[in-house]
A and B are shown apart, each in its own frame.
Chain A
Amino acid sequence: MTGAERLRALGLLAPAYLWLTVAVFLPLSAMAFFSFLTDVPFGDREWAFTFDNYAQALTNPTYATLLWKSLKLAFWVTVWCVVLGFPCAYILARMIKGRSREVLFLLVILPFWSNALVRVFSWAIVLRGNGVLDRAVNAVLPWDVKLNLMFSETAMVIGLVHSYLPYVILTTYLSLQAIDDTVIEAARSLGARFPRILWRLILPLAMPGLIAGAVLVFVPVVGSFMEPRLLGGRVGTTYGTLIEDQFVAVFNWPLGAALSFILLAVVLVILAAASPALRKATT
C-alpha cells in the first residue's frame, strides 16, 4: 500500500473504530476496572484494588453449578438450532426458487421484528397448562392428556431455539447458496446418491455457515437470563441471573463484573478449544 492509500484506508476505517472504542472498548474496560475494586467508585464510596471478587467468584460452588447449567443449556439450544436450521436453510437455498423464496425468507426473519419479551410471553400462553398447546392436543386426542410444559427446561429450550433459530438459518443459507450446482451435477454423474452428496459435499461446504450460526447462538444463550426466568420458572436460574442479581439486587457491581469476565473467559476457552476442529471444517 502506498502512503496515500493507507491514509484513505485509515480515513474509511476511522468511524468504525471510533464507534468500537466508544461503544465497546470503553465500557468493557470500565467493567474490567470495576472487577478489581472493593466497591464502585461512585459518590463518596471508599474503594481499593483487590482480587477478592475473582477469588469469591471462582471458589463459590453455587456459581460453578450455574455456569455448568448455562453451558449445558447453550449446548442443547445450539444443537436444536442446527438440527432444525439446516433443513430449513437447505430447502430455502436449494429447492425453492423465485418469489416464494422471498416470502419464506421473510417468515424466517419475522421473529426478529417482534420484541423478545413479546415472543417469550406468547410462548408462555402456548405452553402453560390449560394453554393453547394443551387444549389443541386434547381437542385432537380422544384421551385426556395433561400437557404442562411451562416452567421446565423444555420450555426454556423451546423459547430460546425459537429466538435464535434465524441466525443459523441465515448463515447456513448463505453458504448453501454459494455451492456451485456443477459440483453436485459432477457428483451425480459419477453415481453418487443424495445421502452421499449431502454427507460428502453439501454438509462440508455448508460447514462455515453452520459454525458461524452455532457460535452466534451459543455465546448469547450462555449469558441469557430473561427467557430462562420467564419460561423456566423455578428451574430458570442461570449464570446470567447471577450477574443480573449482583448489578440490580445488591448493587455489587465489582462482583457482577468479575462474574461477567469469567463467563467471557470460559466462552473464549471453549471457542479456542474447538478452533482446530472449526478450522479444519472451514477449509
Chain B
Amino acid sequence: MKTILMTTALVLVAPMALADEIRVLNWQGYGTDLDWAIAAFTEATGHTVVHEYFTSEQEMLTKLRTNPGAYDVVLINSAFTPQAQAEGLIGPIDAAKVPNLADVDPALVANEDLNAGGALHGVPWTWGLTSFAVNTGDFPEAPTSVSVFWDPALKGRVSIRDDALEAVQFAALATGQNINNITDMDAVKAKLTELMSQIATFWSAETDWNQNMAAGQFAVATYWSGSAARSMSEGLPVAFVVPEEGAIGWLDGLSIPASSTKQDAAYAFIDWMIDPDFYVKWEAEGAPATSNTAAAAALPEESFNRKVLGDPATVARVQFMRPVPDDVRESYLALWQELKAAQ
C-alpha cells in the first residue's frame, strides 16, 4: 500500500519536477544563496538556482521594473511590498503551492503590507525586532515594561540609538500608540523630552553598544534582536526584552515576480526556504527569526530565536514597520534635532 502511494505521489510530482533554472534576487549572503541549501534543493527537485543581488530596496525595484521575466523569486521587505504590488511587479501567492505556509504564523501571513491589493503577495520568511536589552548585572530579573527607561534610579545609564525614526517610534510604543500612525505627537515629544535627561549617550553601532554594556555604562538600551543574539553568544551579560507595550518589527517576504515564467519551480524554492529543516541548519549559522512556528519549535531549547522570539504571543505584540513617507521622516528628524539641541 505504501509503495503504491509513493509511486502515485511520484507520478503526480513528476511533471512539476522538470528541471528549471530559477533566478533569485536578494541581498548577498542572506540565506537563499547558501551553497549547501541550494545543493540540497537541486538534488531534491532538479531545479537549479542562480542568484542576483541588490544593495538597496530602490535597486531591487529598479531591477524588477527594467528586467521583466529575468527573476523568479525576489526578497522584498514588507514596507516595500505595497509599492511593488501597485506597480504590478509581483503576483499574488497561490497558498496551495506552498505546503509549508500552513505552519507559518497566521499573524504574519495576515500582515497588511504583504497582503497589498487584497491578496497575499509575499510569503513571510524572516523577521526581527527593535526593542531593548538590559544589563543582567543591574536586572537579575528582566523588566516587562519600557517604563524602565524613565526610572530615575537609572539616570545616566540609559541609551537609545541616534536615529530620529527609531526614537519617535519607540516613544510612540511607550505612549501606547500605533507606530505607523502616530496621532498624538505632543505625547511623543513630552515622553522623549523626559527621556533625554536619563540618557548617557546615543549609541550608533553594535560595537559601541557592546563596549558600553561591557563597561557598565549602560543598564538599559534599545537594541536589535539579531545584534542581541550575537552579543549574548559572545558572552555579554545582557537579556533581550520584548515588553508588554510591544516592539518595532521588520518583516521580509519572498515574492514571485508577475513576469516569472518558472512559477512552479519558484513556489518549490519558496517552500524550501520556509521549511523547518532548512531553517534549523541556517539558524546554527546565525539567522534572523523565522516566520514558521514549526521551524521555531524545532530549534534547540536554549536558542535565542526560539526562547525569545519563537513565542507567537511575542509576535502578536510586534508592530511591523510600514512605509514612511519622506515628509513624515523629515518631521521626525526636525523633532529629534530640536530635542538634541536643547540638551
B217 contact from A129, A236, A245, A249, Cβ within 8 A = A129
A245, B337: Cβ atoms closer than 8 Å: yes
Known: A234-B199, A234-B202, A249-B164. A242 touches B216 (CB 8 A): no
- Interface presence of A151 (CB below 8 A): yes
What distance in Å separates the Cβ of A31 from its nearest Cβ neighbour in chain B?
A: 20
- Interface presence of A69 (CB below 8 A): yes
A233, B200: Cβ atoms closer than 8 Å: yes
A233, B201: Cβ atoms closer than 8 Å: yes
B343 contact from A131, A150, A234, A245, Cβ within 8 A = A234
Name the A residues within 8 Å of B156 (CB-CB): 151
What distance in Å separates the Cβ of A56 from its nearest Cβ neighbour in chain B?
A: 10
Chain A CB within 10 A, most for which of B202, B204, B338, B340:
B340
Report the bound CA distance from A249 to B336 in whole Å: 12
- Interface presence of B342 (CB below 8 A): yes
A interface, size bucket: 20 to 34
- Interface presence of B196 (CB below 8 A): yes
What distance in Å separates the Cβ of B57 from its nearest Cβ neighbour in chain A?
A: 14
- Interface presence of A66 (CB below 8 A): yes
Which A residues from 166 to 182 make CB contacts under 8 A with B? none
Write the chain A residue with the least CB distance to B342: A65
Report the bound CA distance from A252 to B331 in whole Å: 13
- Interface presence of B138 (CB below 8 A): no
Name the B residues within 8 Å of A282 (CB-CB): none
Known: A128-B217, A236-B201. A62 touches B333 (CB 8 A): no
B333, A237: Cβ atoms closer than 8 Å: no
- Interface presence of A250 (CB below 8 A): yes
Name the B residues within 8 Å of A234 (CB-CB): 196, 199-202, 340, 343
A233, B330: Cβ atoms closer than 8 Å: no
A105-146 interface mask toward B, CB cutoff 8 Å, 1 = contact, 0 = none? 000000000000000000000001111000000000000000
Pairs of residues from A and B, 4 with the lowest C-beta to C-beta distance, nearest first: A233-B201, A237-B340, A62-B338, A234-B199
Task: Give residues in B with beta carbon < 8 Å to A.
Answer: 156, 162-164, 196, 199-202, 204, 215-217, 326, 329-330, 333-334, 337-338, 340-343
